[in-house]
Structure 1
């Protein structure tokens, strides 16, 4: 059975990181790993098998068992329609988790791309492979385990309410979500048995950190197309010839004009009246939403653990922890025996970076406030909220301090980067903010709640009347709305002035024909009915209609050629920095020295060099390079340049970044291992994976 070991000897934090990777105990690593899994391992069948179209929705309905896998003589697994549905739901759930964990929105079209029948079959096969591995390793996750995980992720009942609402919108019930969560947890644990062997060394971490953070300075001369384009000679004959040769570039796409009725929820909101009774009633019924978390007032002495050198042995790292622990214990014994905590903290604490404090209460011992940058004097940190404490000092610190009594001095706590000795000076229990403090927020929430029924009623009215009133103007009159007309717009435009972003309405609008009207369309904030008034087929216009655009395009093309020739002429003469400067001076130009930059970015003065990262990785000192700027096919300019100096990052900064770099590099290795496992397992199973012929290429 897959279990977590309990208990561990004190070790250096960086050594702990790698140990935790081996034991799968690092939550930070798991989170980073999960984000990587979502886009690298989940669609791993894409990496190894490509996007394979075929079959279509009709095939998926016609075939009840799209695939079979024979893991062993007595171990035969069939992929059913239910498995395909679960694969679809799992993929959606993982992308939703990715959005929630990272704040990054995923393109819905990208999600739909992996929903093709054969792709779902491959996803289901991968899930069965992970399930088989879980079985071999004795890994089992129960529905109770899944429920505990969901409760931990959504501790607030209101959060769980929003979750259920969101599931309903996706066509899922809560029981299905619990089942999918169980599958996902078990699958992730199986993956981690492969990923756990991924371990980045400190040397690898140093090479990666140095590569990313080496400060570079470039010397360069730039040839911008915009400087050459105005000097291009233009005649009617040249433009006519250019237009004839490139006429298709000036094609005007299919365009349309729409008539429409649009009702916005925001417009209804302005008509809502909120009374004092409304505000009071909502506040009294939802006080937990306005609760301030508990906080403690503390003094603290922090003894840092010396950061390791990349070449340092594990014994030396463990010794650094022990040295800091002994020092912290000695200081704790002094204050525990009655020595003044503030006095000891002033001379002993090594804390230089502080969490957010709730108040600026003055420390009576030092006449300093918790907002003062010199708060190391006396070790006074003021009041720290529970959620801030967890973020800044970790769960162990938070649990010990928030469960202590006023006046307690807490023995040294290992918080990873240091040992903390804490004295609890005071407490603030969790309280509900007074109504006067949060009145504006409550008013806005009440407005939202009063607006929603009006919006739903409007949708119902529009839907009912739109089916019986075919004329758009009469429908507008019957619903107290207004008919508006768009300007000429591209038919497949994603944004239409007056209507806004088209979003999920795109399909409905794209199939309209002249005089045709859409059904009622609605999203969270809009109700829309659209009629296609006029359509204008794609065509190549006469040159006179687009002369300005033709001239701009011609100047840009010829200016690009002139800029390229000028850059090549300088580059041809430059073999060293000195000969580059001479060639530039001969062209009546001067070189520029950039400010320092790192290779994963770019020098702002240098410009957006195409393939910058790969170019600079292979560039030697004083090697003259010519690069395109902007777009590879149609550059906005060219730059001739070389690296004038390099400055390595400090080892101290590297040590501070270790806790981020080691998990990231380990994640990369883990992703490779998991991809290789799927590839090798599929290869090993070979023709024992049988996909129904309806889905084969």
Structure 2
């Protein structure tokens, strides 16, 4: 299952896992006066609600994730309305899949849930699961194991459904051959680029055209509405830097956390497994026990444990290693197995057969690492960081309540809250609704800054910008939107008009060249007549780095040449230039010439494509038969 999580680490599944451990801290303070009686649903899926509260949390989490990833380009690249639809659709998809899993009898037991949680690196210290670290990470996100584990169990349940469908697909040898022919195909091509600059200088622009363009596109030349903020930033990381630490406090903490600094005893064993199917009848169980007992007797009479494990063990994960399971601590393995391992008295001793849900095990103790205690000097810096963190968190929680109440009681100023809490009032520069730098790069801050209440002179509600970071903002300067004067934008308009003229001309020339090529004229003759550079590429592959990406995509979209006639088209490049593209030869990939390893990779790749298609078809079928009600807003 953990491997499956890694395999899906760039898709919706990883996104969902991240969301589960990124639930922001819920503010207290003045919000307590109002309760949550205004809770509404944004959607219902087969009668099960998606509440506005749950949706808003997910929406803001995804906004924050994208903002951290894209930085200042967030406003340019992300449409909030489209993101709203995508997040809601994801939540609907997840609910449909969870309902399907429940209906099909899928379950995630406590043992599997624990194993998955133990395998998450964020919950580990020095490569091992730490209960204290687990609780600290969750606490930092405003969660507890009680709230996190049901959500994570649901995530694993959904993953079982997806993985069960996606990994069941396969590709036939004939399909793989056809896939290889297309994937490994090579094409002979040519292209000639027609630059905009060829015509831009020829454009004749007069004052009337400039004025008319200005009048038609006034919305483009508006200076956007802008605000500048004053704000209080309550950040646990800043608080941490102000916390003093003394030696005695650290020694007290060391004593309180003594168990944490003990590396538990570990044991390394080999095992040989004779599997027993679930629900096997007594005769099958007896045969497996007898076989295990026979192998145990051979080992006790001098046979090599590793050799017998390689030959007879039915544990695919360890058989090839002679049954070696490496070092592990108590509580890691199945209860009966772990009890047997940690009951062995000396290295080299063999015990068994031990019955577990997997079957019968023969176990040999290979090595023992006793428990080790780390001295205070080795963990002093870690203790200091933790001491500061705990004190800072306590101060943050108490200050958050006070900040909420003080900024509500004094809605026209931040001074009172700043003075009472010992915080600095910070300032931002001017920014528009598209955002800006620093705090203005946060979508949540931008929305609040341009809200009627804040533009009207009030403090904002407390805004959570991450785990244990809260700000309250107010507008200190407001500039309404205004039309830029013509003289300020004249050069931009003239540039636009020249570019528009040039685009028409290059498109006309590209179309004319394609017609000439289709009529039988040679690419070389046409390029020479039009004073264009002709570039030829032989045996280009689909990922040929030497060819412009847009040209390459067009080349592999064109059909096969007929007889001596190539295939031709024209395309617009990202730069605005045009290119005329032609295919003069096609050579399919040869399935027989492909190395066996590469063929296996291609077969798996094709099966993954089929599997994903089958999963999407399954999901679409769930949607078709579901009753989905979305609240119109």
Partner of 2:460: 518
Establish whether residue 656 from structure 1 lines up as the match of residue 597 from structure 2: yes
Distance 1:644 1:148, change over 3 A: same
SS for the counterpart of 1:617 is coil
Query: Which residues of 2 match residues 459-470 of structure 1 at below 5 A?
Result: 459=400, 462-463=403-404, 465-469=406-410, 470=412
Correspondence 1:618 to 2:558: yes
Q: Does 586-595 or 153-162 show the bigger shift?
A: 153-162
Measure the CA separation in 1 of the matches of 2:42 and 2:195: 60
Contact 1:255–1:535 (Cα < 8 Å) also in 2: yes
- Is residue 252–residue 539 contact of structure 1 (8 Å, CA) maintained in 2? yes
SS in 2 for 1:561: helix
Structure 1 residue 636: Cα displacement = 1.7
| Aligned equivalents of 2:423, 2:632: Cα separation in 1 | 52
* Separation in structure 2 between the aligned mates of residue 442 and residue 651 of structure 1, nearest angstrom: 63
SS in 2 for 1:626: strand
Distance 1:526 1:398, change over 3 A: farther
Q: CA deviation at 1:128?
A: 3.3
Aligned residues of 1:130 and 1:191 also touching (Cα < 8 A): no
1:591 Cα deviation from its structure 2 partner? 1.6
SS of corresponding position for 1:507? helix
Residue 507 (1) aligns with residue 447 (2): yes
Q: Residues 401-420 of structure 1: matches in 2 within 5 Å?
A: none
Q: After TM superposition, give the deviation of residue 627 of structure 1 in Å.
A: 0.9
For residues 375 and 583 of structure 2, the distance between their equivalents in structure 1, rounded to whole angstroms, comes to 61
The answer as to whether partners of 1:594 and 1:606 remain within 8 angstroms in 2 is no
Per-residue CA deviation, residues 116-137 of structure 1 (Å, 9 max, x unaligned), is 5x996776455434433x24xx
Separation in 2, partners of 1:652, 1:604? 24
- The 3-state SS of whatever aligns with 2:208 is helix
Over the residues paired in the alignment, what is the CA RMSD in angstroms? 5.9
Q: Is the 8 A contact 2:13 2:159 kept in 1?
A: no
Structure 2 Cα separation of the partners of residues 39 and 577 of structure 1: 54
Distance 1:572 1:433 in 2: 80
Matched, 1:258 2:223: no
Structure-2 residue corresponding to 1:552: 495
Give the Cα separation in 2 of the matches to 1:286 and 1:203: 64
- Cα-to-partner distance string for 1:467-517 (whole Å, 9 max, x where unaligned): 455434565556555555544321x223x3353521433432231224232
Tell me, in whole angstroms, the C-alpha distance in 2 between the residues paired with 1:249 and 1:58: 40
**From 612, 625, 628, the counterpart of 1:671:** 612
- Is structure 2 residue 206 aligned with structure 1 residue 235? yes
From the superposition, tell whether residues 140 and 447 of structure 1 become closer, same or farther in structure 2 (CA, over 3 Å): closer
Residue 587 of structure 1 deviates from its aligned partner by 2.3
In the other structure, the counterpart of 2:578 is 638
Q: Rate the CA distance shift 1:220–1:251 in 2: closer, same or farther, 3 A.
A: same
TM-score by length of 1: 0.55
- Residue 30 of structure 1 deviates from its aligned partner by 8.0
1:574 corresponds to = 517
Q: Shift of residue 199 of structure 1?
A: 0.9
For residues 443 and 592 of structure 1, what CA distance do their matches in structure 2 show? 65
Match in the other structure for 1:489: 431
Unaligned 5+ residue runs, structure 2? 18-36, 269-305, 308-315, 328-346, 348-366
Within 1, Cα distance between the matches of 2:320 and 2:139? Answer: 39
Alignment CA distance shift 1:280-1:206 (3 Å): farther
Q: 1:146 aligns with which of 113, 125, 129?
A: 113
Could you say which residue in structure 2 is the equivalent of 1:113?
Answer: 85
Report 1:57-72 matches (<5 A). none
Distance 2:600 2:391 in 1: 48
CA distance in 1, matches of 2:170, 2:525: 50
User: Structure 1 residues 459 and 395 mapped into 2: Cα distance closer, same or farther (>3 Å)?
Assistant: farther
- Tell me the residue number matched to 2:284: none
The answer on whether the counterparts of 1:226 and 1:559 sit within 8 Å (CA) in structure 2 is: yes
Counterparts of 1:188-199 in structure 2, within 5 Å, are 188-189=159-160, 194-195=165-166, 197-199=168-170
Question: Counterparts of 2:183 and 2:12 in 1: how far apart (Å)?
Answer: 23
Could you tell me which residue of structure 1 aligns to residue 533 of structure 2?
A: 590
2:358 matched residue in structure 1: none
Aligned residue pairs total: 506
Is the partner of 1:519 in helix, strand or coil?
coil
State the SS of the aligned residue for 1:239: helix
Residues 515-550 of structure 1 show CA distances to partners (whole Å, capped at 9, x for unaligned) of 232234343475533222343444433312322322
| Structure-2 residue corresponding to 1:366 | none
Matched-pair contact (CA < 8 Å) for 1:264–1:525:
yes
Residue by residue over 1:339-363, the C-alpha shift from the partner in whole angstroms, topping out at 9 and shown as x without a partner, is xxxxxxxxxxxxxxxxxxxxxxxxx
In structure 2, the CA distance between the partners of 1:636 and 1:486, relative to structure 1 (3 Å rule), is same
Per-residue CA deviations over 1:364-412 (Å, capped at 9, x if unaligned) read xxxxxxxxxxxxxxxxxxxxxxxxxxxxx976656756759x9xxxxxx
The secondary structure found in structure 2 opposite 1:627 is strand
Show CA shifts across 1:639-693 (max 9, x none): 112346667489676533455443443233233334444555777xx6xx6678x
| Contact preservation (8 Å) 1:222, 1:606 | no
SS for the counterpart of 2:577 is: strand
Looking at structure 1, the residues matched to 547 and 239 of structure 2 have their Cα atoms a distance apart, in angstroms, of: 50
Equivalent-residue separation in structure 2 for 1:218 and 1:436 (angstroms) = 69
Residue 637 of structure 1: how far off its partner (Å): 1.5
Task: Please name the residue that 1:15 is paired with.
Answer: none
- Residue ranges of structure 1 left out of the alignment (5+ in a row): 1-25, 43-56, 69-78, 297-335, 338-392, 407-425
Deviation at 1:283, TM superposition (A): 9.7
**Structure 1's 526 and 664: CA in aligned 2 closer, same or farther, altered over 3 A?**
same
Measure how far apart 1:61 and its partner are: 6.0
